[in-house]
Structure 1
Amino acid sequence: MPTSLLQRRFGLPALSALCISAALLAACNGSDDSASTGAGSTSATAAATALAVVKPVMDCAQLASVDLTDIGGAGSTITSAAVTTTTINGNTISMCAVKGTLAPSNTFEVALPVSSWTQRFAELGCGGLCGNLSDPTRQSAFSFTYNCPLVQQGGFVTAATDMGHSGNGTAWTTNEQQQADFAYRGQHITTLAAKKLIKAYYGQAQKYSYFVGCSDGGREALMAAQRYPNDYNGIVAGAPAAHFQIQNSVFHGWSVVSNSTTGNSSGNSVLYADKIAVLHRAVLAACGDTPDGLISDPRACSFDPASIACATGALDTSACLTPAEVAAAGKIYGGPLDATTRERMQIGRPLPGSEGNWVGVEVPSTSTSTGAPVAVSSGVFSYNIVTGAYNLIFTGSPTMPTIDNFGYTDASFYSTYLAPNHPLYDATNPDLSAFQKAGGKLILWHGWADQHISPRYTIAYYEAMQNTMGQSTVDGFTRMYLVPGVGHCGGGEGLANIDLVSQITGWVEQSNAPDSVMSYRTDTAGNVTASRPVYPYPAVAQYKGSGDWHDGANYTSGAPLYNVRTPAWAGAMFYTPYTPKQQGVATPL
């Protein structure tokens, strides 16, 4: 499949840095203006930077001799250990870059600061189906650039992995061990290797460990909390593809068939970029409730595409939707129902206000043109489902339905095709009691205008945690932030730069539980042009009614706009406690 489609669907490789780092970008607000950084932000940052710098006790090159076979098994090796330099917002940082392989095929790299380590470690998630190794020494590639002292001064040891396979090929899907490495093992053993290298290089263990990821990196983050509750003190999980199998089957597939003139892969697209612009303007006009027209909680928006339907017999349809376009938009928003029970097959679809991000995902990148294939909007999903290349991800056998005979309206699809590997790939176990008892802290975040993964799935997971563990317990170690107008792991019309990693370090290290967190919009030169607080779910930011609405100081916490819990749906059974599936080489604890 062309890499460009992988990039559009899952952020590989160009968006992998964004998917890994949109939450790291969250750590990077070093503003000293307490009025504009939100409650607790300044004190959390100041306290977090107070840890002493620890210097190495050996030369970087000596790390090449560290034995990692106790972690990865026979064949694990370090291939290089050398000092390199990186520039972060004008600061030149020296790093000891250690590269190697954890058997059988997990390529990894650990970046250890030579003279600026503040006793912190951060494992970085990877996006999409992984298969690429992002360079952790190039911290600017992880958006470590938003005035974050801990990052700009080289305070973190960072590590990354390709999670057991290289490139966008399909061979790994037939390999049981590589399936396990992608599902859960790769990040864990990389973390163990990084911690062993830290101990060797600095003569002491890290004081605090963190995981930061978005998209599949968000799934990896939740997988860590569920399977390895002692690996990290704090976790930031952005736009998690937690229900990996649903995401890569009925969710993406429905986007394809709902925008097809024939309802299958042989048709042309119905909606194109030009009409998406018409639709988006109408949605914001109807439901925008912020000074800049964004939607604070799209679930409270009851917009009907039929409200902008073209008049019967209209000759000019450029500013309205034809009947076919109205129907396609309604399907994209609504999702399918079980044909017999009328039960919802999906609980989350792209939400009102996200339309501006649909181009290249739910609809083609081009404007109206005759004959454009619907497959251009299908990304990885149609490739998987049509060719059968990734069928083993789901069922363990090449019997997966094609995109044209998929069980979109038959809830038995879940038990037949997705249940067998649900405990392997999915990260929807709501029982995080072991992580909570270990003192772990979790921040979930999602952009309301996400075009790839619906924030309703993250809400469903958060509610499942409350149902399983009790709301007061969840409130003690988890926060969730939903950001208006922000797309998948960033981007969109919203204020996409938010401070979350400094929040997680302050919470872990100083017990400063996060409250409001300021989000920012910046221009191409990096100058802040607007700010607005984001409050722990379900509260929303409310303009006070006076003062510059671009200034976050002129907002306060508003009451929730939507109070309905996630309704019943066909996949709800996957959001109850379950025993994780393990396969292949035993994983070190």
Structure 2
Amino acid sequence: MTGIVESAARRRTRTILRAACASALAFAFSATAHAASYLAKHCAELEGATIPASVIGLPTRGAAIWTASVVKAAAPGNRNGEYCRIVGSIKAVEDNAPDIRFEVNLPSRWNGRALQMGGGGYSGVLVSGTEPMPFAPDSTPLAKGYATFGSDSGHVGNSGRADFADNDEAILNFGFGHLKKTHDVALALIQMGYGRGPEKTYFAGGSTGGREGFTVVQRYPADYDGVIANAPAINFSGVRLMGVKVGQASYGKPGGYVGLAQQRRVFETVVHECDKLDGAADGIVSNVEACRKLEPQIIADVRCANGQRPPLRDSCLSDAQLATLDTLRDGLNLPYMLAFGVDTYPGYNVYQGVDFSGVLGLGDSPTLVSPPSFAVNGYLFAQGDAFIKHFVTRDLSYNSIGFDLANPGRYRQRLFALSSQVGAMNTDLTAFIARGGKLIAMHGLADEVISPNQTIAFYRLLVDRYGQSGVDGFMRLYMVPGFQHGNGVFIPAWDELGALDQWVMHDIAPETLVGTDIALATNGRSRPMCRYPGYPRYFGKGNVNNASSFRCVYP
């Protein structure tokens, strides 16, 4: 193992420089008439500085700052106000492992708090921390005064093929390592920049970022005061193996593929039968549990006569196609345990409002291509196939259609290890609760990528462990009808960060909130964001497009 070794003289120089920068930037960021000029002068001095490995809580070979420069408030395209932008890398332990690229942004008008922002998919793209929060498109945390930071999770490229997983250190960084390493480097830079650490530190992310949110709660509870975790892929191995099972049903069995017309027909039939169960004909299936009771009728409505293959230009479903949808609905049950006692992956709300005909759906072709692609063979299977080839077998020629999910043989231990390394299914949140940490989670009930029923199942496990009042003391869960994985018939815009900040800073726990629809066809309508297990119900009075006309109903 080789590394960058600083001479004693250089280390002394860096120490002096860091102290000077800390003092200068602390003054520069004060509310004086000369703040901007001092920021411009001293921010750039951070360029070329290093962060020693000793201040990073996991093994690295230290961090280096590539660039540090002031972004003026009036800079083209900048809506964040004036800030110091710092970009660098955290050196991997092994020579053959990729480094972690990071970005830290220090606003000249700091509110004293820091926000780490999570990635998406397989990450591989530098999270800048300069963009708006998902579902809050009108402003950015940086513009509100948060010191923001993010990383690329320790590899470059987000193709969906998971090439990085050929390297063990890259897997560990993707699973959890980049979170701690980036956090520690960012807080060192914040200390250097302002002369003090943040008063509160938050994390926010969705999908992969949602998993990362639960990961930091479970692995690094002392580092975070509040966490936002949307559509969290907490059971990472489960959802990937689920994708393999779906692919085997679609392409490993005669007639199993469900075409676009059939996918759309199921969705339209569900909406026709279940839309009004919440009192409003608005295209949203809100009363999911009541809709679940109509499932036999819905299946009968879409089934072809005698369960045969659909006639030409008919969108009914054969028994083989319905069996594929049943696979999605029923989920995954394994005869062995993954990490933290997990042996299931709950299924999807196939007959309760999920539209599988979109870009993240089941694909548009009965022909299996190699490697499977999202558009042709469906997102779930393409990702499951990549997981088997890159994470599990590390054999690009392996045929995932033939992978024995029930009896993985020599790969069983590998599956167990991966579920521990990349996953967040540990229900022991005692340390996070003890320090007063707060967690807000949100998931769409129509999610076609990450099953919302896994999030619900995990929440119920927490209630079993800590009791309802115990969970209420640190967590809020919002399950959103009509919302898919970033798309859907209802896409909520809501101030999730503001709700978290109020809870952490002022002990004002969020209850029913309001989401404003940003879907193109229905932009501007609003609905209550109900705490689970509630759903918004319309009682026949008032404008159906206003949240005030709905009430949250609880079983």
Q: Do these two structures clear the TM 0.5 threshold for a shared fold by scoring above it?
A: yes
- In structure 2, the residue matched to 1:567 is none
Aligned match of 2:10: none
In 2, Cα distance between the equivalents of 1:479 and 1:270? 38
Question: Greater shift after overlay, 215-224 or 468-477?
Answer: 468-477
Instruction: Between the two structures, name the one with larger relative contact order (CA 8 Å, sep ≥ 6).
Output: 1
- Give, in angstroms, the shift of residue 101 of structure 1: 0.8
* TM-score where L is the length of structure 2: 0.79
Q: Which residue of 1 aligns with 2:85?
A: 97
Instruction: Give yes or no for the alignment of 1:476 onto 2:473.
Output: yes
Distance 1:293 1:144, change over 3 A: closer
Whether 2:274 is the aligned partner of 1:287: answer yes
1:459 to 456, 469, 480: 456
Q: How does 1:335-414 map to 2 (within 5 A)?
A: 335=331, 345-364=344-363, 366=364, 371=367, 375=372, 376-379=376-379, 382=382, 385=385, 389-391=389-391, 394=392, 402-409=399-406
Give the corresponding residue for 2:20: none
Say which of 543, 546, 550 aligns to 1:555.
550
Distance 2:397 2:455 in 1: 26
Q: 1:422 to 1:324 in 2, by over 3 A?
A: closer
The verdict on how the C-alpha distance between 1:412 and 1:316 changes in structure 2, with shifts beyond 3 A counting, is: same
Q: Deviations over 1:58-109 (max 9, x none)?
A: 5211222543113354352111101125789984622211011112111101
Contact 1:298 1:351 in 2 (8 A): no
The TM-score with structure 1 as length reference comes to 0.75
* Count of residue correspondences: 490
Q: Distance in 2 between matches of 1:280 and 1:88?
A: 44
Partner residue in 2 for 1:571? none
SS in 1 for 2:104: strand
* 2:147 paired residue number: 157
Unaligned runs of 5+ in 2: 1-29, 93-98, 337-341
Residue range with higher mean Cα deviation, 449-458 or 185-194 = 185-194
Query: Quick one: which of 311, 318, 330 aligns to 2:305?
Result: 311
Query: 1:323 and 1:88, CA in 2 relative to 1: closer, same or farther beyond 3 A?
Result: farther
Partner of 2:541: 546
Provide structure 1 residue ranges, at least 5 long, that are not aligned to the other structure: 1-51, 561-589
Q: Structure 1 residues 83, 445: CA separation in 2 closer, same or farther (over 3 Å shift)?
A: same
Aligned twin of 2:19 = none
Change in Cα spacing, 1:152 to 1:544, as seen in structure 2 (3 Å) is farther
Larger CA deviation: 239-248 vs 173-182: 173-182
User: Which residue number corresponds to residue 96 of structure 2?
Assistant: none
For 1:517, the aligned partner's letter is: L
Which residue does 2:330 correspond to in 1?
A: 334
Secondary structure of the corresponding residue to residue 165 of structure 1: coil
**Bigger Rg over Cα:** 2
Q: 1:415 to 1:387 in 2, by over 3 A?
A: closer
* Per-residue deviation, 1:446: 0.5
1:495-543: CA deviation from partner (whole Å, max 9, x where unpaired) = 4223311110110011000100111113659x95210111111122221
Aligned pair partner of 2:55 in 66, 71, 74? 71
Could you tell me whether the CA contact under 8 Å between 1:386 and 1:402 is conserved in 2?
no
Conserved in 2, the CA contact under 8 Å of 1:385 and 1:400? Answer: no
1:574 corresponds in structure 2 to: none
Q: Among residues 227, 232, 248, which one is paired with 1:257 in the alignment?
A: 248
Aligned position for 1:198: 190
Which residue number in structure 2 is paired with residue 582 of structure 1? none
Distance 1:254 1:81 in 2: 48
Measure, in 2, the Cα distance between the counterparts of 1:74 and 1:328. 48
Q: 1:19 corresponds to which residue?
A: none
Cα distance, 1:373 vs structure 2 = 5.0
1:125 aligns to what?
A: 118
Equivalent residue number for residue 220 of structure 1: 212
Please list the CA deviations of residues 23-76 of structure 1 after superposition, one character each: whole Å capped at 9, or x if unmatched. xxxxxxxxxxxxxxxxxxxxxxxxxxxxx9796875211222543113354352
Distance in 2 of aligned mates of 1:187 and 1:520: 31
CA deviations over 1:159-180 (Å, ceiling 9, x no partner)? 1111211224756424332222
Any idea what the Cα deviations from partners look like across 1:528-580, whole Å, max 9, x if unmatched? 521011111112222132011110011112123xxxxxxxxxxxxxxxxxxxx
- Name the counterpart of 1:112: 106
Choose the corresponding residue for 2:517, options 502, 521, 526: 521
Compared CA separation, residues 443 and 370, structure 1 to 2 (3 A): closer
Is residue 496 of structure 1 aligned with residue 492 of structure 2? Answer: yes
User: CA–CA distance in 1 between the matches of 2:313 and 2:423?
Assistant: 43
- Write the distance in 1 (CA, Å) between the matches of 2:387 and 2:195: 51
Residue identity over aligned pairs, in percent, reads: 27
C-alpha contact 2:354 2:484 (8 A) present in aligned 1: no
Checking the alignment, whether the CA contact within 8 Å between 1:345 and 1:411 is kept in structure 2 is no
Instruction: Give the Cα separation in 2 of the matches to 1:480 and 1:423.
Output: 24
Alignment of 1:432-443 (within 5 A): 432-443=429-440
Contact kept in structure 2, 1:345 and 1:409, CA below 8 Å: no
- Give the 3 Å change call, closer, same or farther, for CA 387–136 of structure 1 in structure 2: closer
- Answering whether residue 69 of structure 2 is matched by residue 82 of structure 1, we say yes
Shift in CA distance, 556/427, structure 1 to aligned 2, threshold 3 Å = same
Q: Give the aligned partner of residue 575 of structure 1.
A: none
SS of alignment partner, residue 544 of structure 2: coil
Structure 1 residue corresponding to 2:531, chosen from 536, 554, 565: 536
Matches within 5 A, 1:557-572: 557-560=552-555
Tell me how far apart the structure 2 counterparts of residues 432 and 321 of structure 1 sit (CA, whole Å). 44
* Alignment partner of 1:276 is 2:263: yes
Instruction: Give the superposition deviation at 1:422.
Output: 2.8
Kindly report the root-mean-square deviation, in angstroms, between the aligned alpha carbons of the 2 structures.
3.4
The alignment partner of 2:401 has SS state of coil
Q: Which residue of structure 1 aligns with residue 6 of structure 2?
A: none
- The 3 A distance-change label for structure 1 pair 338 and 479 is closer
